[in-house]
């Protein structure tokens, strides 16, 4: 299904670390071979985010050959003066083409007056041209990324001729309380998992509600937004709410 508010962009970076957040508590860290849905959604949210809408990542195209590099990292200890050495496995020389679209957040009925599709679509495209509103990271803060417009499918990719490659069980993303799509996810933070398959260099993502492998993480409330609330004040004068 084609959506009228599709955006396409390329994100690049010298290094990336895509992993399950549960595995980032400490010690050794190792990146997945390809970006997670949640990491790409985070990139797009750094480009342009509003609580009125939800970004959906449709597909990612792996442009460069998958390579890794192991680095010795000395983690920061905030509680003591220990000097440990951990080894992190990063992806390097990363380049991805991404296609995505947004839909209204039906759990945000207080923002129904902000549902102007043309406005949000045009702002999102302008922000992609400018490289995003906030800093772009590829999975983790030490991996700086850079965004620019592109046409999804243009140019030669490293895996265009590879028929199929499976990556096994992989973290898909997190469903937050304000994005809940079923009674099972209402009032909870829920982790999703799936089995990605790359075909001719392209991974097509399922929608969050299509992921049948889920794990509730904790109870979670929904923070309200609105013109009469303090967290929404001042936006109207800048033309953000019309």
For residues 95-103, average pLDDT: 96
In this model, does residue 130 exceed pLDDT 80? yes
pLDDT at 78: 63
Residue 123 near residue 7 (C-beta atoms within 8 A): no
pTM of the model: 0.85
173 or 185, greater pLDDT? 173
From 74-78, 90-94, 190-194, the region with the lowest mean pLDDT: 74-78
Domain boundaries, the chain: 7-76+84-160
In this model, does residue 187 exceed pLDDT 80? no
pLDDT at 6: 94
pLDDT tens digit sequence for 132-162: 999 999 998 889 999 999 999 999 999 999 9
In this model, does residue 14 exceed pLDDT 90? yes
Residue 85 near residue 17 (C-beta atoms within 8 A): no
Rounded alpha-carbon distances, angstroms, from residue 85 to 24, 103, 105, 133: 15, 44, 43, 34
In this model, does residue 233 exceed pLDDT 50? no
Rounded alpha-carbon distances, angstroms, from residue 210 to 181, 183, 195, 230: 10, 14, 12, 36
In this model, does residue 237 exceed pLDDT 50? no
Phi, psi of 130 (to 5 degrees): -90, 0
Q: How many CA atoms lie within 13 A of 205 on its CB side?
A: 28
Per cent of the chain over pLDDT 90 is: 56
In this model, does residue 206 exceed pLDDT 60? yes
pLDDT at 80: 67
Strands 188-194 vs 213-219: parallel, antiparallel or unpaired = antiparallel
For residues 46-53, average pLDDT: 92
Band of the pLDDT at 76, cuts 50, 70, 90?
low
For residues 23-37, average pLDDT: 81
For residues 202-218, average pLDDT: 90
- Cα angle value 21/173/57 (rounded, 5°): 135
Question: Class of 7-76+84-160 per CATH?
Answer: alpha beta
């Amino acid at each position: 299904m084609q959506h009228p508010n599709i955006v396409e962009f390329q994100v690049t970076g010298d290094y990336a670390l895509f992993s399950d957040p549960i595995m980032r508590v400490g010690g050794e860290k190792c990146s997945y071979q390809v970006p997670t849905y949640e990491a790409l959604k985070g990139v797009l949210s750094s480009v342009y985010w509003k609580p009125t809408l939800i970004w959906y990542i449709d597909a990612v195209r792996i442009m460069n050959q998958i390579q890794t590099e192991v680095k010795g990292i000395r983690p920061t200890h905030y509680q003591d003066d220990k000097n440990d050495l951990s080894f992190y496995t990063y992806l390097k020389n990363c380049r991805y083409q991404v296609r995505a679209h947004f839909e209204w957040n039906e759990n945000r009925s207080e923002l129904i007056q902000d549902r102007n599709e043309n406005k949000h679509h045009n702002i999102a495209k302008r922000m992609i041209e400018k490289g995003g509103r906030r800093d772009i990271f590829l999975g983790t803060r030490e991996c700086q990324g850079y965004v620019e417009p592109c046409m999804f499918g243009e140019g030669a990719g490293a895996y265009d001729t590879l028929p199929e490659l499976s990556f096994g069980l992989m973290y898909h993303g997190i469903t937050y309380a304000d994005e809940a799509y079923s009674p099972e996810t209402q009032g909870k933070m829920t982790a999703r998992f799936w089995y990605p398959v790359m075909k001719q260099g392209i991974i097509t993502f399922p929608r969050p509600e299509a992921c049948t492998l889920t794990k509730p993480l904790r109870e979670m409330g929904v923070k309200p937004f609105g013109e009469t609330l303090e967290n929404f004040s001042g936006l109207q004068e800048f033309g953000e709410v019309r």
